Structure formats: C-alpha cells, structure tokens
Amino acid sequence: MSGTGLDEYHPGLEGVIANETAIANIEGTDGAGGLEYRGYRIEDLAGRVSYEETAFLLLHGDLPNPGQLAEFDRRLKAARAIPDALLTLFKQIPPHVHPMDVLRTSVSVLAHFDPDVDAAPTDHAANVRKAERLTAQMATAVAYRERVRKGLPLVAPRDDLDHAANFLSMVSGKAPSETMREAFDLSLVLYTEHELNASTFSARVTASTLSDLHSAIVAAVGTLKGPLHGGANEEAWKVLEQVGSPDNAEQWIKDALARKERIMGFGHRVYKHGDPRAAILKRSCAALAKEVGDDRWERIAEPIEREVTAQKHLPPNVDWPSARLYHYMGLDIDLYTPIFAMARVAGWAAHVIEQLDHNRLMRPRARYIGPPLREVQPIGKR
C-alpha cells in the first residue's frame, strides 16, 4: 500500500490532532494530565470563579475584572427573554418529547430572532454577541419548557439572581439555598468546556463549512444527546436506581462486573488516571446529601466507585457525581443532559468562533473496505 497516510487508521479518530486551539488543554501544561481553560487549571477555577466569569473567559480570552463582569452580567440578564413564538411552540410539542430534542429545536428557532441573524458567518464581534445571547437564552428555554410540560405556570427570570440561582428558581419556583446554588454553579463551570469532544468537534465541522453559529450549536446539541456523550449522566443515575439500597451495592456491582456489564459514569477516552472534575464534584455531592438529610445515594455510589476503579481501572468521570448532584436538587433525570448543554454552550461557541476566525474546511478521508471494482451487469444477468 502507498505511504499517503491513508494506511494509518484511527478508529473513532482517537489520538488524531484535528485542530489547534487556545481554549482548553486536557493534557495539562506539564503533560501530566488535567484540564485547563485558557491556561487556568480547573482546580484553581472551581469554587473561585462563577459560571459567568468562566463563560467570559472562554468567549473573551481572559477572566474579567469587576467592571467587565458587571457589564457581562448585565448583557446576559438582558438576553434571558425568549420569543413568544418559541413559548407557543413549547405548548404544542407533546409533553413526552425529550428535553434535548426540544432544546435542539429551540436553538434553531432562536436563530431566526437573533438581532445578528444576517451577519456574515466570519463576523467575530457578531458571533460573540450571538454566543452571549444564546448562553442566557438556552437556560431560559430549558426552564420554561420544563414548566410547560408539567402544566405549571412560568416563572420569569429574576435580575437579582445569578445564572445558576436564576435557572433553579425558574425550574422549581423558589430560590435555591446557598449550598445548592454554589453546587449548581460549580457543576456549570466544570461542564463549560472540554476541548475536542464529540459535540465540540461536531460544532467545528459544521462551522468549517462557513455555516452560522446557531447551526453549529444545533449540531452540537444533537451530538450531546447520545448516551455515550452527554446522556451518560442520565445513564449513571439509572445505575444508582437499579441498585436501590446501600445494602445491595457491593454485591450488585460485583455481579455486574462479573457479567462484564458496562457501568456508565466511569472511564474516559482521554483521562486514564481519573477525571479531575469528578473529584471536585464529589465533595459537593456530600455537602448536598447532608443538606437534604439523605446520604443513601452516596452510600450506594461509594462501593460501586471503589469496585469499578479497582477491578476495571476505570475511575469515575464527571457524569458519575453530577447525576447525584442534580437529584439532590430535585431535578428530573431527563433535565441532566440539557443542563450539560446550557453550560457547554459557552465552550461550543468559543470553538465555533475560533474555527471561523482561522477556518479550514474539515474533510477527512475513509479507508475503503468494500468489494473490488466490478462491472455493471444487465439486469437479466444479475
């Protein structure tokens, strides 16, 4: 075979460098592994910066000063409203439709009403404005649709609440406790960005055709829906529900591993020695379990985590603790992935903008493994 490079086959594109990016580093600057947003270690950001500061960092290149943060916060709050046409659509979509499907449609509809809808796809400033608006609007869309499908009155956004507290308030109808607000905000920070994962790659491929930012985010939402990506947090919760009781946990996981079942919420294509986000979020799970007065799920999760890590050498990823975290907040399981999406939109948008600023159409090759060249036979001889 020729040495054209087509001999090199990487299933799932594992290990292939397809882009250069200044947004995130998942190897760590010292090569020891880890996660950094624009040069800041996730361990240093977690608990010290808000989701708003994190979104600003990704979209604008650095952490904001107080004045920049106040102005950014003002812009986000001003953009929280969504068009009446989208609200009408929410009421027409059957209640059983998964929130991720509704969110995918929502992003597409929001594109039609964006003030920069006619801007050129390579207009950097317009793309940043679109990204800021979409960061605010996606959270409102997820919350409003949840209230509509449950037949509950809508709860309007509150300007006195930050992004995390406002979302929880719009979903539940009451402002969260400070412990809950901090934990939810932390989860959004940890979910905001993660380099060239499947949904981000999908967004960049779409943008590389010089499509628009909203189209790229629609592609990302559709990709995130899959249970091997964003849907993994929903599947992680189903594992805990299957076990049901701390008394069953140890035997259940031993039996499941003996049957070679895949346990969702463990292992990562990149992190071979543990997802740093999981360790950070696990502490918040313990704090929330204490606040709600029910540590049963922590006691179920612990032996499962211990056995999978010891026997399969697969430490938990961020989906494992986030499933419990959102349960403690009273959020329905099918909201877990939309929450992932409304956090990740800032990261997706940053990648789309970076792609469009330095664009090259993505067009990989495939290795052909079909039949050799054949002649077309007349239909009577086939």
Say if 298 falls within a structural domain: yes
Say if 219 falls within a structural domain: no
Q: pLDDT by residue for the chain (382 residues), tens digit each?
A: 344 455 788 777 877 888 899 999 988 665 556 899 999 999 999 999 999 999 999 999 999 999 999 999 999 999 999 999 999 999 999 999 999 999 999 999 999 999 999 999 999 999 999 999 999 999 999 999 999 999 999 999 999 999 999 999 999 999 999 999 999 999 999 999 999 999 999 999 999 999 999 999 999 999 999 888 888 888 889 999 999 899 989 899 989 999 988 888 887 767 767 788 999 999 999 999 999 999 999 999 999 999 999 888 888 989 899 999 999 999 999 999 999 999 999 999 999 999 999 999 999 888 899 999 999 999 999 9
Say if 295 falls within a structural domain: yes
For 175-194, the pLDDT digits (tens) are 999 999 999 999 999 999 99
**What pLDDT is recorded for position 9?**
80
Question: How would you label 9-26 residue by residue, b for 16+ Cβ within 10 Å and e otherwise?
Answer: eeeeeeeeeebebebbbb
319 is catalytic: yes
Q: Which residues contact 315 (CB under 8 A, 6 or more apart)?
A: 266, 267, 271, 273, 274, 275, 278, 309
- Compute the distance between CA of residue 345 and CA of residue 19 in angstroms, rounded to an integer: 19
Residue 304: give its domain's CATH number: 1.10.230.10
Say if 252 falls within a structural domain: yes
Say if 13 falls within a structural domain: no
Domain that holds residue 245: 232-328
The values of phi and psi at residue 24, to 5°, are -140, 150
Say if 261 falls within a structural domain: yes
**What pLDDT is recorded for position 31?**
58
Of 194, 268, 327, 351, the active-site residue reads 268
Of 73, 114, 185, 319, the active-site residue reads 319
Say if 303 falls within a structural domain: yes
Say if 176 falls within a structural domain: no
Number of structural domains in the chain:
1
268 is catalytic: yes
